[in-house]
Amino acid sequence: MDSRQEFIEFAVAQEVLRFGSFTTKAGRLSPYFFNAGLFNNGAALGRLAEFYAQAIIASGIVVDGLFGPAYKGIPLVAAVAVALARTGRNLPFSFNRKEAKEHGEGGSIVGAPLAGRVLIIDDVISAGTSIRESVALICAAGASPCGVVIALDRMERGSGEWSAVQEVEQNYGIPVLAVANLDDLLGFLREHPDFTQHEVAVAHYRQAYGLARDS
C-alpha cells in the first residue's frame, strides 16, 4: 500500500475523516468531513508528522527551515521537525504568535530565525488566509517561502474555477504538497467494502464542485 492510501486509512481510523452529511464553510453539502484538529494525542500526532515527512522527502524540495502558522500549524511544525530529524534531516523551525509580544524577546516569531528557503506546514488550505499571512512574515524576515505542505487537498473549486490550493500556487509561485487528495480518498472508498456505500456521494460531489481533470 502506498503512503497516500495508508494516510487515508489512518485518518478514517482516527475518525479525523468522516462520512455523512456536512455543511462546508462555503455552504456546500459535503458527503465527507476532514478535521485535522482531531489528531489530538501524542501517538496520532507523531504518526501524522511521519506522513508529512514522507511527503516532503518524496517531493525533493530544497528546504532550509520550517514554519507553522498559528494556531494549528504550531504543533504540526514541531512534530514534523522531529519526524524529519529522525530521517537525518535536522531542520530549524519556527511559528508565529497572533499578537506580537512587546516584552522579553519581543516580536511575533517564536523559534529559529526565518532564513533561506522556508517550507510552510499547515493542516488544510481553505480561504488561504494563514498562507497569505505566513508568506508576508517570511518575506518580511528576508527569507523565501518555498512551498506549503498540507494533510488533505479537497481538490475543490472556490468561488471561481481555481481551488484554494491552485490560488496559492498561482499567487505566490510556490508548490503545494498534499499528503493525500480527493482522488486518493475515492480510491480508498473503491477498495474498502465497508465504505463503498459512500463512493457514489463523494464522486457526485467531486463532479459538482471538483476541478477539471486536466487542471
84-122 confidence digits (pLDDT tens): 999 999 999 999 987 655 544 546 899 999 999 999 999
43-76 confidence digits (pLDDT tens): 999 999 999 999 999 999 999 999 999 989 999 9
Question: What residues form the annotated binding site?
Answer: 25, 33-34, 71-72, 97-98, 101, 103, 122-130, 154
Whether the pTM exceeds 0.75: the reply is yes
Which residue in 198, 211, 165 sits closest to 32, CA to CA?
A: 198
Question: What residues form the annotated binding site for orotate?
Answer: 33-34, 126, 154
- 134 vs 9: CA distance, rounded Å: 30
> What integer is the mean pLDDT of 162-187?
94
In order of their start, the domains of the chain are 3-209 (3.40.50.2020)
If you search the block for the grid coordinates 529559529, which residue do you land on? Answer: 112
Mean pLDDT over the full length of the chain: 92
- 63 vs 56: CA distance, rounded Å: 9
